[in-house]
């Protein structure tokens, strides 16, 4: 979901330079870590404390919140 959300927000250029600081970063494929970092930084996705929990399914409410945030980013 992070990759799709970051691309939808047209923020993929930030993915290469945004560090990922969650404790379970090693569970995320290296090529996706920057996207996760940007999604977290832009509040498109959230963490569970200090963990991202990459294998946890995205809930409908989380997706709705992310889509709302994308809409606000598009307006800016």
User: Domain limits of the chain?
Assistant: 2-75
Quote the CA–CA distance of 32 and 64 in Å, as a whole number.
22
pLDDT for res 75: 83
- pTM for the predicted model, two decimal places: 0.92
pLDDT for res 9: 95
DSSP assignment string, the chain:
-HHHHHHHTT-GGGTTTPPP--TTGGGS-GGGHHHHHHHHHTTSS--BTTB--TTSPPPHHHHHHHHHHHHHHHH-
pLDDT values of the chain reduced to their tens digit, one per residue, 76 residues: 999 999 999 999 999 999 999 999 999 999 999 999 999 999 999 998 899 999 999 999 999 999 999 999 888 7
């Amino acid at each position: 979901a992070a990759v799709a959300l970051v691309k939808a927000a047209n923020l993929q250029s930030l993915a290469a330079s945004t560090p990922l600081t969650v404790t379970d970063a090693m569970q995320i494929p290296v090529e996706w870590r920057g996207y996760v970092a940007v999604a977290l930084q832009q509040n498109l996705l959230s963490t569970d404390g200090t963990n991202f929990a990459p294998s946890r399914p995205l809930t409908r409410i989380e997706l709705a919140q992310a889509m709302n945030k994308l809409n606000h980013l598009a307006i800016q």
